[in-house]
């Protein structure tokens, strides 16, 4: 047997480090020793606070995330590590290979080869830790389908929002806006390129946004495409009201058990606003004839090499101090951007 350790969510606001006994890898399996794992600022914040729906599956598409959000459980989906032991039938070339896995925070884990993503030699562990969120950002781009010359807004500049923005600045848009309440995030966003960054906590932000749209000739039309990635249900109404006639609002936030109160009696109804749910576990039907998850992952890896999001890591915690990492995430979000656990 192999002895490992894992992060266990035991109750709202509580995580512990527990030992885990692993059998040696079987046929077609390997043992991975984790070197780094990324904490998801949106999803894991809800999980840590007990705001995830208890009866909802952790993720039906990921074999390592079985069960539901009922305590106690293990969670996480962004591990980088090295193959440390081979099971029967696995060739020697896998030994020592760096891989990414959609796996909970564990010091060691057994995985089938087909669940691992080999990493390019020129991609650092720190950049690779953003792979899951980069894939989500690309999925948002696919679902929103920005067009040349459009005005696009992004509400919420957490890690996924920032990666989405980093992709959008590469498009030939007429104008790109981004809104967030935290100065640290606004600073990172302002360094990405041609984007106008606004303070979401400023009472005048709506008029500022309207003024900017007027300057760019979008006064009557409003924004063509709006992304709501803030994680705050209250922001969704603002996103809807910012969209122009027949505009698209892509909802990338997962609100968990937070309730959403929508005002659909105003601009939404008369402007024929489209609301699009975007979730990375599946592909939009209209592109599934050309795109696969493998193709999307390959693009995400290329994008990580181009953007280098490792520069956005603000906190590194030893794996055994995971409780402090989650306290940092929830209690001091204005200081935190990407938090990683080291092993």
Q: Report pLDDT digits (tens) over 256-296.
A: 778 888 888 888 888 899 999 998 988 989 999 999 999 99
Is residue 97, in this structure, part of any structural domain at all? yes
pLDDT for residue 82 is more than 70: yes
pLDDT band at residue 223 using 50, 70 and 90 as cut-offs: very high
- Contact between residue 87 and residue 114 where contact means Cβ atoms under 8 Å apart: no
pLDDT of residue 107: 97
Is residue 129, in this structure, part of any structural domain at all? no
pLDDT of residue 63: 62
pLDDT for residue 207 is more than 90: no
Asked whether residue 202 falls in the same domain as residue 234, the answer is: yes
Is residue 146, in this structure, part of any structural domain at all? yes
Asked whether residue 155 falls in the same domain as residue 261, the answer is: yes
pLDDT of residue 183: 97
Is residue 260, in this structure, part of any structural domain at all? yes
Angle at 90 between CA 35 and CA 7, to 5 degrees: 30
Is residue 141, in this structure, part of any structural domain at all? yes
C-alpha radius of gyration, the chain, whole number: 21
β-bridge mates for residue 176, sequence order: 152
Per the structure, how many domains does the chain have?
2
Angle at 161 between CA 64 and CA 258, to 5 degrees: 70
Pairing of strands 14-22, 108-112: unpaired
Q: What is the pLDDT averaged over residues 216-230?
A: 81
Which residues contact residue 108 at a Cβ distance below 8 angstroms, ignoring those fewer than 6 apart? 2, 4, 5, 20, 22, 31, 32, 33, 34, 84
Asked whether residue 314 falls in the same domain as residue 279, the answer is: no
pLDDT band at residue 59 using 50, 70 and 90 as cut-offs: low
β-bridge mates for residue 305, sequence order: none
Asked whether residue 156 falls in the same domain as residue 278, the answer is: yes
Asked whether residue 277 falls in the same domain as residue 329, the answer is: no
CATH number of residue 98's parent domain: 3.90.180.10
Asked whether residue 243 falls in the same domain as residue 102, the answer is: no
Domain region containing 15: 2-119+308-342
Asked whether residue 67 falls in the same domain as residue 183, the answer is: no
pLDDT for residue 212 is more than 60: yes
Asked whether residue 152 falls in the same domain as residue 68, the answer is: no
Q: What is the pLDDT averaged over residues 13-24?
A: 94
Strand (E) or helix (H) holding 137 = helix 131-144
pLDDT for residue 220 is more than 80: no
pLDDT for residue 189 is more than 90: yes
Is residue 124, in this structure, part of any structural domain at all? no
pLDDT for residue 27 is more than 90: yes
Is residue 302, in this structure, part of any structural domain at all? no
> In the chain, pLDDT over 70 holds for what percent of residues?
91
CA 101, 287, 137, 48 torsion-angle sign: negative
pLDDT of residue 1: 81
Angle at 51 between CA 50 and CA 55, to 5 degrees: 90
pLDDT band at residue 121 using 50, 70 and 90 as cut-offs: very high
CATH number of residue 244's parent domain: 3.40.50.720
pLDDT band at residue 71 using 50, 70 and 90 as cut-offs: confident
Strand (E) or helix (H) holding 186 = helix 183-190
pLDDT of residue 160: 96
Which residues contact residue 300 at a Cβ distance below 8 angstroms, ignoring those fewer than 6 apart? 131, 134, 135, 138
75 to each of 39, 59, 104, 223, 281, how far by Cα in Å?
10, 10, 5, 37, 16
Asked whether residue 18 falls in the same domain as residue 63, the answer is: yes
- Contact between residue 327 and residue 339 where contact means Cβ atoms under 8 Å apart: no
């Amino acid at each position: 047997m192999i002895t490992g350790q894992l992060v266990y969510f035991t109750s709202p606001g509580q995580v512990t480090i527990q030992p885990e006994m692993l059998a040696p890898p079987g046929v077609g399996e390997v043992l991975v020793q984790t070197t780094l794992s990324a904490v998801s600022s949106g999803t894991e914040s809800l999980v840590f606070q007990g705001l995830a729906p208890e009866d909802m599956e952790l993720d039906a598409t990921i074999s390592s995330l079985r069960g539901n959000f009922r305590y106690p459980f293990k969670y996480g989906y962004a591990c980088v590590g090295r193959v440390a032991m081979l099971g029967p039938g696995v060739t020697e070339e896998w030994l020592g290979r760096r891989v990414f896995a959609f796996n909970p925070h564990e010091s060691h884990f057994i995985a089938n080869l087909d669940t691992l993503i080999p990493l390019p030699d020129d991609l650092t562990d720190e950049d690779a830790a953003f792979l899951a969120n980069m894939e989500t950002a690309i999925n948002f781009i696919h679902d929103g389908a920005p067009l040349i010359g459009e005005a696009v807004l992004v509400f919420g500049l957490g890690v996924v929002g920032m990666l989405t923005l980093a992709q959008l600045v590469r498009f030939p848009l007429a104008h790109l806006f981004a809104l967030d309440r935290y100065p640290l995030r606004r600073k990172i966003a302002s360094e990405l390129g041609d984007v106008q960054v606004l303070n979401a906590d400023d009472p005048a932000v709506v008029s500022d946004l309207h003024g900017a749209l007027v300057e760019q000739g979008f006064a009557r039309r409003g924004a063509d495409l709006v992304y709501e990635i803030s994680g705050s249900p209250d922001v969704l109404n603002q996103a809807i009201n910012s969209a122009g006639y027949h505009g698209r609002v892509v909802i990338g936030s997962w609100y968990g058990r937070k309730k959403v109160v929508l005002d659909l009696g105003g601009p939404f109804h008369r402007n024929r606003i489209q609301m699009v749910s975007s979730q990375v576990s599946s592909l939009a039907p209209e592109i599934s004839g050309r795109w696969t998850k493998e193709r999307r992952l390959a693009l995400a890896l290329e994008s990580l090499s181009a953007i280098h999001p490792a520069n956005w890591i603000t906190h590194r915690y030893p794996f055994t101090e995971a409780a402090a990492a989650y306290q940092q995430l929830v209690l001091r979000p204005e200081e935190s951007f990407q938090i990683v656990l080291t092993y």
